[in-house]
Amino acid sequence: MKRRAVHGKIVRIGNRRVVTKGLTTGLFVDFYHTAMQASWSMFLIAAGFIFGALNTVFAGLYLLFPGSVANVPPDQPWHVLFFSIETLATVGYGDMHPLSEWGHWVASLESFVGLIFSAVLTGAIFSRFSRPTARLLFSRHAVIGQFEGQPHLMLRVANARVNMISDAVAKLWLLSTTFSAEGRRFRRYHELKLDRLENPSFVLSWILFHRIDADSPLYGWDRQRMEEAEVQLILSVRGNDESVSQELRSRHTYKLDDIAFDHQFVDVITNDEDGNVVVDYRVFHDITPEELAETDDLVEEVEA
């Protein structure tokens, strides 16, 4: 039997595009979550569209019975749209007002809808402004290179606000494809242990190290093995922003193309002639082949 085609919704999980099918979606199915997830531009466009649609509907109701609103120019009946906007926004300049019983009923209903709309919109805007956000800068590449005589997977994170994030904790996960004994394909998570997973005062930059030894899920893996396993790295960081006394969380995903083998990060922390610490974020994402790396690279992270 031919299966009916089902249109799906495309969502983005990290750097991956996923098509979901069979789920009930829509603006009002999960309004609050949709309002929080939308970009500011889409949020304002949607709010403007709903505002315009409501006013258009109520303007049409007034026009069902001409003469429902006073002082509407006979040759410009669309002025009831302005009256609808004034009523919905609870402005009421007074030039135009309900004239008939029908006009009063529609205006009363519109005033009630306007109060609900204003309350919902105000709550959504307040929630968007008040929710804690992290401005963490994740390096574009993860690198695999030598550190203290052993191969390490290294990732770099920076606090773009340059304020105090206390009790910062990082977790790194490996997402890879495996097959069961029956040949079924699975995507599984493996936690990659970090040597320095906690930072009591995260202010500048922070390099995270995972030692690739016999206990590591990456032990013995080369680029070809990682490609076969469709490897992805998921790095999450959380901590307390002391400026606003709120917990912050942020996450970044690295695909295989984002992993550089036999490379090191270019140092971002140096000292000037006056002994001041200089942090150059212009080279934050820069990496260099291991044989060209300076010997004092990564010193920054012992301090950070």
What is the average per-residue pLDDT within 149-175?
91
pLDDT in tens, 110-148: 999 999 999 988 898 888 887 777 788 999 999 999 988
pLDDT in tens, 38-93: 888 988 998 899 999 999 999 999 998 888 888 888 888 888 999 999 888 888 77
Per-chain mean pLDDT for the chain: 84
Residue 52: the pLDDT is 92
What is the average per-residue pLDDT within 199-209?
90
Please name the CATH architecture into which domain 136-303 falls: Sandwich (2.60)
Q: From CA 205, how far away is CA 166, in angstroms rounded?
A: 13
Domain boundaries, the chain: 9-130, 136-303
Residue 58: the pLDDT is 93
Does the fold of domain 136-303 match that of domain 9-130? no
Residue 55 burial class via C-beta count within 10 angstroms: exposed 0-12, middle 13-18, buried 19 and up: buried
Q: What is the pTM of this model?
A: 0.70
CATH number among 1.10.287.70, 1.10.10.60, 3.40.50.800, 1.10.1270.20, domain 9-130:
1.10.287.70
Helix (H) or strand (E) holding 153: strand 150-159
**pLDDT band at 301; cut points 50, 70, 90:** very low
Is the model's pLDDT at 26 over the cut of 70?
Answer: no
Relative orientation angle of helices 40-64 and 101-130, to the nearest 10 degrees: 170
Lowest mean pLDDT among 30-34, 86-90, 242-246: 30-34
Is the model's pLDDT at 9 over the cut of 80?
Answer: no
pLDDT in tens, 252-291: 999 999 999 999 999 888 888 887 888 888 999 999 998 7
Relative orientation angle of helices 80-88 and 40-64, to the nearest 10 degrees: 120
Task: Give me the helices (H) in the chain, please.
Answer: 31-37, 40-64, 80-88, 101-130, 223-228, 299-303
Whether 263 contacts 186, CB under 8 Å: no
